[in-house]
Structure 1
Amino acid sequence: MPPRSPLLLAGLLASAGIAHFAAPKMFDGLVPRSLPGSPRTWTHVSGVAELALAAGIAVPATRAPAAKMAAAFFVGVFPANVKMAVDWRHRPAPQRTASLARLPLQVPLVLWARGVARTAKGQS
């Protein structure tokens, strides 16, 4: 794993976390209706989680556990990506394609986070 890989992953998570606050309406529609509470609450909770994970991955002392939690987070948000693909199935082709492309993207994100965790453990 390249030395900058953890910081790139942290940057990706931080960017996503900020987006949850900068454009929350976009994320509200992805929250599965089966979750209790308001979609905006879940949008903000997931944004805070992404920012916390980014901070944890950026700090070498907390990198391994934070990266493991990031891998679990990427698995946990998969239902929102499925919901998006289902909800967008009748949208124009570029949007439909983007929503479907998100589904397999979770696999490399999970593997990347696991790799960061494994590398961080080896450095301690």
Structure 2
Amino acid sequence: MNRRSLSRIVLAVLYAVAGVLHLAAPHPFVAIVPPWVPWPAPVVMLTGLAELAGAAGLLQPLSPGLRKAAGWGLAAYALCVWPANVQHMLIDLAQPGTGLGLGYHVPRLALQPVLVWWPLWAAAITDWPWRRRRA
């Protein structure tokens, strides 16, 4: 199994678990939706469905086009939920002694670009930062 295939499997498992959590236990996710986002509970439900769809798309063995669509979708998803991660940090910082500290939030926000890039690489949309080997 090559690195991309393994990455697709790992991402699919992570996103499938996250999707199930968004649907089965939405409260923690609803609590960090920024106030400017309308209808937080339905939005969290839709994000869970998007995660499950992306996970399923990454695992399609005979459809590179569907895998690429899933890669684009999950990259866009990671970008779109970034404000919720910022909101989560702001909520926690406003309540000292509760929630998660900067030791969690700063690396989490700093790694968000990796969560945008990873599905693009795993779905073979980009080779960056590595180059394709020429035959």
Contact 2:92 2:99 in 1 (8 A): no
**Max Rg structure:** 2
Give distance in 2, aligned partners of 1:93 and 1:30: 14
Give distance in 2, aligned partners of 1:8 and 1:86: 30
**Match for 2:91: what amino acid?**
D
Contact 1:17 1:51 in 2 (8 A): yes
Superposition deviation, residue 118 in structure 1: 2.0
Contact 2:92 2:98 in 1 (8 A): no
Unaligned runs of 5+ in 2: 127-131
Task: Report the TM-score when normalising by structure 2.
Answer: 0.79
84 and 58 in structure 1: CA distance in 2 versus 1, 3 angstrom threshold: same
Q: Deviations along 1:5-49, whole A, 9 cap, x unmatched?
A: 111111111010011122211101111111122x21111111011
Aligned to 2:54: 53
- Are residues 1:75 and 2:76 paired? no
Give distance in 2, aligned partners of 1:94 and 1:83: 12
- More helix per residue: 1 or 2? 1
84 and 94 in structure 1: CA distance in 2 versus 1, 3 angstrom threshold: closer
Give distance in 1, aligned partners of 2:22 and 2:120: 24
Aligned to 2:106: 100
Superposition deviation, residue 117 in structure 1: 2.4
Of the candidates 21, 24, 28, which is equivalent to residue 22 of structure 1? 24
Give distance in 2, aligned partners of 1:87 and 1:59: 38
Aligned to 2:122: 116
After the TM superposition, which parts of structure 1 deviate over 6 Å for at least 4 consecutive aligned residues? none
**Match for 1:83: what amino acid?**
Q
Superposition deviation, residue 94 in structure 1: 7.0
Task: Report the TM-score when normalising by structure 1.
Answer: 0.86
- Are residues 1:4 and 2:6 paired? yes
CA RMSD of aligned residues (A): 2.1
